[in-house]
Structure 1
Amino acid sequence: MAKQCFKNAAFVRMLMTVLSVVCLHTADAQTGASYGTIGDDLPPATEVVALCHQYNIQRIRLFNPNPSVLPALNGTNISVIVGVPNEDIIGIARDAQLAQSWVRNNILKYENVNFRYIAVGNEISPLDGGSAGIAPSVVPAVQNIYNAVSASGLGGRVKVSTALSFGVLGTSYPPSAGAFRPEIQSSYIKPLVQFLVKTRGPFLVNVYPYFAYVSNPNDIRLDYALFTSPSNVVRDGQYQYQNLFDAMVDAAHAALQKVGGDVEVVITETGWPSAGGTATTIDNARSYNSNLIKSVRNGTPRKPGKPIETYIFDLIDENQKSPELEKHWGLFLPNKQPKYPISFAK
C-alpha cells in the first residue's frame, strides 16, 4: 500500500510539473519590443538587457545581427528575432555558401542566445521603389538561410521568414475582404506563403494603426485606433471590432486564407509615437501600447483565444532617425526612464 501511495505521489508530482510547464508556456508574455540602435545616446547593450529584465520584456526584435548587442543576450531567457539586412539578401539568394557563412557568424557563434526567428529582410516589396530590386531574391534567400539553419541542427528551433509591410495588402476593409495586392500575389506572396506552410514558419508583418488613422482621420476614429472605444465600431458579418489593430490583423488572416496560408501571424512592429506628428502625445502612446499588451492576449475576433505574438516599436527613442516623427516611438528615453507607466507582466 505504501509503495502504491509512493507511486501515486510520484505520478501527481510528475503531472503537476507537466501542468506547470504548460501553464507557464500558456501564460508567457506575448508582447515584446523592437530594439533599434540608430542613435548616439543609447545605453550599452548590457544595460538595455537589464532594462528588459526589469520590465519583464521577454522578447525582442533586432533588425540586424548587431555584434555589440548579441553578446549581451548570451545566457538570458530573452527570445530574439534577428534580421538579415536588406542589403545582404541578393548575395545570400545567389550563394548558398554565403547563407551558411551568415548563419555560422551570426547564429551559431552565439550558442547561448535564444534565437526564435530569422527575418530575412524588412518591408521588401516589388511595389516599393527602394526595395523592388531586392524582392525577387527574398524567397531564394529565405530558402538558403533555412537550409543553412537546418544543416546546423537548429531547424526545429529557429524559424525563417521575412517581415513585410501591411502595404502588401491591397484590401483590408472590411477585414473579411482582406486580400494581397493582385499584382504581387502570384509572383511574390504565394511562393513565400507556400514556403511558410511547408516549414511551419510564421507570417511576419508590421501593423500600424497609427498610420492608418493619420491618413484617414475623417473615417477612422481616434478611440478606435487607440483601443479606447467603449463599444464595437465595425461589424463584419459574424465578427465585431472594437479596435483597428484587431481589424488589420484579421485582414491579414483573411488574405492568407485566400492564398492557402494557414500559418501563424506574428506582428513584428506596431506602436504609437509620443511626439513629432499628428495625434502624437505621451497619453496617446501610453493608451495604445498599454491596451495593445492587454488585447493581444485574447486573440482577434477571427481567432479568439489565440494570443498574438507582437513586438512594440520601439524599445528606446532613436535620435538619429528621420524625419522627426521617427525619433519618438520608444517606450523608454535614452536615460532608461520610461515615458509612462507600462507593464509587460503576464
Structure 2
Amino acid sequence: MGLFNAKDSKAPMAPILLFLGFLISGLELTGAQVGVCYGRNGNNLPAEGDVIGLYNSNGIGRMRIYEPYQPTLDALRGSNIELIIGILNNNLQALTDAATATDWVQNNVRNYSPDVKFLYIAVGNEVHPNDAEAQFVLPAMQNIQNAIVSANLQDQIKVSTAIDTTLLGNSYPPSAGVFSDSASSYINPIITFLVNNGAPLLANVYPYFSYTGNTKDIALPYALFTSPGVVVTDPDGNRGYQNLFDALLDSLYSALEKAGAPNLQIVVSESGWPSDGGTAATVENAGTYYNNLINHVKGGTPKRPGQAIETYLFSMFDENLKAVPPELERHFGLFSPDKQPKYQLTFG
C-alpha cells in the first residue's frame, strides 16, 4: 500500500465566448452540487417527510440512499432532489437472475419515475475482490442495465457500483496509482462496463481513514484542506498536492488510466469526517473538513483541473444503531437526530 491508501478575429467571437464561458461555468457548478448520503441505521431519526424538508430547507439537491425504501421514495416524489439509489450487497446474488432485476427496476424505479429524479443505481457498496458477493456484482449490473434500457431510461439513469480506495495497490505519488493485482481481475470488467454504458465510477473517498492509518507520515492539515502550501509534489507533470482528498482521487484516476479508461469520470459517492469516537474525531475538525470539501469540489484536482467533482457527504444524521466498534461510525452526521445542524454549512 502507498502513503495515501486505507480519484484571429476576436470581436465577432466575443459574445459567443462569453456565452460559452457562462455555460461552462454553469455546468461546472451543477456538477459540483454537493449531495448528502441518507442512512437510516438509527432508532431516533426524523420521519421521512421531515428529512426531505430538511434537505430542501438547506438547499441540498442530491441524496444517496443505500436500498430502496418505499417511505423515502414516496417522500421524494415531486421534491426535485436527484437520487443515487443503492442495492445492498446481500441482494446482489438474486439480481443475477434477469427477471428479478427487471422486477427490481419496475418496483423501485419505474413506479416512481419521473416523480423521483433518479441519477444512478449503485449496484453494491464497497465489495472487495475476495468477498463472496464479488462474483455477483457485474452480472447484477448487466441485468439492471438491461432492465433500464427496456424501460427506455438509459439516458437518464446510469448503472454503477461504489468502490473504496483499498482496491488500490499503490497510490503514492498519485501518478503511480494502480489497482492491486487481486483487485484488477474484479474491477477491470466493471470498468469496461462503465465505459461502454457512459456511466461514472462511484468511489467512497475518505482522507480521514488514510490519515488515521498513517499519522506518522500524513499531517492533519493535509487531510483537512488547511495546509498553507504544497505538501506533495508529483514528478509526473510536476503536479503539486495541497490536500489528501485530491491525492486520493487522482490516484484513482491514474489507476483508471492504467486500466485503459482515461476518460472515465469518478463521482465521489461518500466522503466525511467523524465528530467523535476516534483519533482527531472532533466537531471542530469535522466542521473544517466538510466546509472545505464543499468549497473545494467546485474546482477539480491537479490531474483534472477545472472539472467540478460531484460529491456526496457522509452522512445526513448520526446513526446510533450502526455496528461498533469503532464507535466513530455512529458520528458522521451533519445533523443530530433532532434535525439540529452540527456545523454551519452552505450547500447551495
Per the TM superposition, whether the score is higher than 0.5 is yes
- Measure how far apart 1:76 and its partner are: 1.4
Counterpart of 1:67 (choices 58, 66, 70) is 70
**Letter aligned with residue 108 of structure 1:** R
- Measure how far apart 1:183 and its partner are: 1.8
The answer for the alignment partner of 1:232 in structure 2 is 230
**Letter aligned with residue 50 of structure 2:** E
- Distance of 1:74 and 1:20 partners within structure 2: 31
Q: Which runs of 4+ in 1 moved over 4 A?
A: 16-24
- Measure how far apart 1:253 and its partner are: 0.2
The answer for the alignment partner of 1:327 in structure 2 is 330
- Measure how far apart 1:30 and its partner are: 2.3
The answer for the alignment partner of 2:59 in structure 1 is 56
Q: What secondary structure does 2:84 align onto?
A: strand
- Distance of 1:21 and 1:233 partners within structure 2: 34
**Letter aligned with residue 175 of structure 1:** P
TM superposition score normalised by structure 1: 0.91
- Measure how far apart 1:27 and its partner are: 2.4
**Given that residues 231 and 243 in structure 2 are in contact (C-alpha distance below 8 angstroms), is that contact kept between their aligned partners in structure 1?**
yes
Structure 1 unmatched runs, 5+:
1-11
- Distance of 1:155 and 1:18 partners within structure 2: 28
- Distance of 1:308 and 1:27 partners within structure 2: 9
The answer for the alignment partner of 1:155 in structure 2 is 154
**Letter aligned with residue 174 of structure 2:** P
The answer for the alignment partner of 2:181 in structure 1 is 182
**Given that residues 335 and 342 in structure 2 are in contact (C-alpha distance below 8 angstroms), is that contact kept between their aligned partners in structure 1?**
yes
Q: How does 1:257-336 map to 2 (within 5 A)?
A: 257-261=257-261, 262-323=263-324, 324-336=327-339
- Distance of 2:68 and 2:19 partners within structure 1: 36
- Distance of 1:169 and 1:87 partners within structure 2: 24
Q: What secondary structure does 1:69 align onto?
A: helix
Rg larger in 1 or in 2?
1
Structure 2 unmatched runs, 5+:
1-14
Is 2:217 aligned against 1:198?
Answer: no
Cα separation, partners in 2 of 1:248 and 1:19, compared to 1, 3 Å: closer
TM superposition score normalised by structure 2: 0.90
Q: What secondary structure does 1:68 align onto?
A: helix
- Distance of 1:320 and 1:218 partners within structure 2: 32
- Measure how far apart 1:19 and its partner are: 9.1
- Measure how far apart 1:82 and its partner are: 0.3
The answer for the alignment partner of 1:27 in structure 2 is 29
Deviations along 1:137-190, whole A, 9 cap, x unmatched?
1111100000001100101110001111111111111100000011221x2111
- Measure how far apart 1:21 and its partner are: 7.3
The count of corresponding residues between Structure 1 and Structure 2 is 326
Counterpart of 1:220 (choices 218, 227, 246) is 218
- Distance of 1:18 and 1:55 partners within structure 2: 30
With a CA cutoff of 8 Å and minimum separation of 6, indicate the structure with the bigger relative contact order.
2
Q: How does 1:43-122 map to 2 (within 5 A)?
A: 43-93=46-96, 95-111=97-113, 112-122=115-125
Cα separation, partners in 2 of 1:23 and 1:227, compared to 1, 3 Å: closer
Deviations along 1:53-107, whole A, 9 cap, x unmatched?
11111111000011121111111111000001111111111x1000000000000
- Distance of 1:239 and 1:229 partners within structure 2: 16
RMSD (Å), alpha carbons = 1.8
